[in-house]
Amino acid sequence: YRALLDTLELSDSRLTLQLQGNITRVKINELKPLKPRFEVFLSVLSRDDNGLVLSLGVESQRLIVSARPFRLDIMEGPEVLLSLNSRGLLAFEHLRLRGGKDKEEDGLWEETFKSHTDSKPNGPTAVSLDFSLPGVEHVYGIPEHADNLKLKTTDGGEPYRLYNLDVFQYELYNPMALYGAVPVMLAHNTQRTMGIFWLNAAETWVDISSNTTVFGKMLDFVQGSSETPQTDVRWISESGIIDVFIMLGPKPSDVFTQYASLTGTQSFPPLTGLAYHQCRWNYNDQDDVKAVDEGFDQHDIPCDFIWLDIEHTDGKRYFTWDPHKFPQPKDMLQGIKDKRRKMVAIVDPHIKVDSGYKIHNEIRDKNFYVKNKDGGDYEGWCWPGNSGYPDFTNPEMRAWWASMFAYDQYEGSMENLYTWNDMNEPSVFNGPEVTMHKDAMHGHWEHRDVHNLYGLYQHRATAEGQIQRSGGTERPFVLTRAFFAGSQRYGAVWTGDNAAEWDHLKISVPMCLSLGLVGISLCGADVGGFFKSPSAELLVRWYQTGAYQPFFRAHAHLDTPRREPWLFGPENTALIREAIRQRYALLPYWYQQFYQAHKTGQPVMRALWVEYPKDTATFTIDDEFLIGRDLLVHTVTEEGARGVTAYLPGLGEVWYDVHTFQKHNGAQNLYIPVTMSSIPVFQRGGSIIPRKVRVRRSSECMENDPYTLFVALSPQRVAEGELYIDDGHTFNFQTKKEFIHRGLSFVNNVLTSKYVTHIF
């Protein structure tokens, strides 16, 4: 490719650069394509049409565009921060018509996977671009993968794959695709954090190679050279266009803010959503739900939510209730409400093809189903049997779906019933790789173009439905399995169908940390593991870890023995009770962290390097993490563990064991003996953390209880913190400014409190 610098055109393509808030955007599209190529719409982004600006807004930063061969270098002073197409891997397969000059090669016009064949109406349409990151050895992000926090080189192996799939018993430490895809990578060294946002919803592969190379310090062109570590990254997507945002930081917090300006911040969940959730596939009937609810009270264990999986419906027809097992859903919900608890019911996207089913008939009559390549309604096999798939890319379909959550439409629902969107990759049991055929049609777009957006759009429509049913006053709570960039705006995500194994407990930490790095803070893993049955020790350790992860839900497969917290003997019941009670005591701190995440885009569950970006010892740690700035958690993920070695960051800082109040210096590895009673948790010296030490059966029952401030002094004997309070469930904090936000300070042995104003 040759860049025509005066018009910003490539020989067959066009290049556009857009600048906003220390973000550089590179968009490459065909100049005159046979038909429009799909572009992911950024609903949050405020766009302007700036042309090519060689100064990046910061005096020392510049963009160098080389015409032949085409290359972009982003500079700061004499240093190259990032280069595009430095390895010449830019590729853009142009749309074509069959019967032209192209030979009838295998895979050119159709692709076969096992017994499934997808047509390619315009031939291969892939796009690719490479990025070089001088001085960078550590890259993170691009979830979802069951892998370490630091991404590995893919030299000699498979690249990381981003393609939302319903994966049965996924493999660990593997670049295979899982349930969600966020095409965002963070690059970090002691000097800077940067981000790459590859805005493409098609199947995407990411190749990573690391090496030490001679990469010159540039001033216009190379002037001298030095040996520098470097990471090279190549992105390849099956279709769409090249649309890339380069987030230049330079601090981790800056990158989070820059990314949030493009895709939005984490939704602010109702307080109850941060409490404990009890789920399994399935609670059998109304009596079973009542017994589980009473079991928590009998064993003095807090719980806010009881969940219902697919068996609660009438023959897997969503928005319905089994008339024999759940004949009086409102009575059941009222009984739960009387305990000041809530429920969640599953609503999957596949719709049973049944002429007696109102939901199916309306979607069919409104022509809202995804179509097959021949123009008929696309049908596939899922839990109900033969199913249709609503086209959630259609705004009219989303609006209709949202309207189905109204109380007069969703019969048996009440204000304390929330929603779980599962199987929305979408899962098609008889489809290629258990998903939809790529040549299915969403209006004018092939499914291959929009695949990774399907779950986000269902999640969005469901959340909007919950908001609308309350007249716009109540915050929604919706859990999704499939996700994309921007899913954080609509609710919670979990890591999918894990297993009751120690390694799955261990991997839950880097999986959630990776999600937090790309904006999705409300994440968690199935406590206890979905498949198989945990030992009592594993279950206790999982509760102790899950209590310090943002979304805290126990879940289990239909074929596993029951595992409510009181079924493993009195000793283990007491240990699980204590773990859950620790979560409830810290709910004020959790809630405050999510308020800040909603306002700023900063992650709640944080990798250590986010807060200690110059400490190289933190760059590969993924068995401990921070909640906000002030709580440090080290997991216990080995069977029979008698101790762990934790790294306490921060030279000149101190950390206090929250269980014993023992003080330890920062910037050291510390061996900590452990028993089954708890896992190591530390409060940072210099912080003030609010708690509610009077734990009751649900978070709502604790609403009017007093706050206790835990003041941990720094070596200078000072501390600071915050206390945020609102009604816990409405948008009044936003629409009416009804909240209390206090800044707390402890200096000279005096504790003071003042209003926080314009903090964000």
Q: Which of 166, 497, 615, 622 is catalytic?
A: 497
435 closest CA partner among 418, 445, 448: 448
Contact 232, 211 (CB under 8 A): yes
Question: Which residues pair with residue 13 across a beta bridge?
Answer: 30
Contact 494, 483 (CB under 8 A): no
Letter for the amino acid at 53?
V
Q: Which residue has the tokens 């800040």?
A: 596
- Chain-centroid distance of CA 716 in Å reads 38
Contact 669, 643 (CB under 8 A): no
End-to-end CA distance of the chain: 44
Contact 487, 478 (CB under 8 A): no
Assess whether 497 carries a catalytic annotation.
Answer: yes
Longest dimension (CA), the chain: 83
Contact 566, 536 (CB under 8 A): no
421 closest CA partner among 746, 166, 626: 166
- Chain-centroid distance of CA 394 in Å reads 23
Structure token pair of residue 352: 């049973």
Contact 285, 279 (CB under 8 A): no
270 closest CA partner among 450, 475, 432: 475
CA-based radius of gyration for the chain: 26
Q: Please, which residues have CB within 8 angstroms of residue 624's CB and are 6 or more apart in sequence?
A: 509, 608, 632, 633, 634, 635, 646, 647
Give the H/E segment covering residue 655: strand 654-657
Q: Which of 73, 147, 254, 422 is catalytic?
A: 422
Structure token pair of residue 518: 């790309």
Task: Give 637: exposed, middle or buried? Use CB within 10 Å, 0-12, 13-18, 19+.
Answer: buried
Structure token pair of residue 523: 């994440």
- Rounded Cα distance between 263 and 651, Å, is 35
Contact 484, 455 (CB under 8 A): yes
Contact 682, 648 (CB under 8 A): yes
Which runs of E-coded beta strand occur in 293-395?
305-308, 342-346, 351-352, 379-382, 385-388
Which runs of E-coded beta strand occur in 309-362?
342-346, 351-352
558: left (phi over 0), alpha (psi -120 to 50) or beta: alpha
- Rounded Cα distance between 484 and 143, Å, is 9
| SS3 of residue 417 by DSSP | strand
Letter for the amino acid at 366?
K
Q: What is 55-66 written as a DSSP string?
A: B-SSTTEEEEEE
Q: Please, which residues have CB within 8 angstroms of residue 645's CB and are 6 or more apart in sequence?
A: 669, 670, 671, 672
| 704, 706, 712, 718 alpha-carbon torsion, rounded to 10° | 100
Assess whether 422 carries a catalytic annotation.
Answer: yes
Question: Which residues pair with residue 19 across a beta bridge?
Answer: 24
- Rounded Cα distance between 180 and 209, Å, is 23
- Rounded Cα distance between 269 and 579, Å, is 22
- Scanning 496-619, the segments in alpha helix (DSSP H) are 502-517, 536-546, 570-585, 587-600, 608-611
- Rounded Cα distance between 273 and 420, Å, is 12
- Scanning 157-302, the segments in alpha helix (DSSP H) are 252-263, 286-298
β-bridge pairing 71-76 and 79-84: antiparallel
> Which residues are designated catalytic?
422, 497
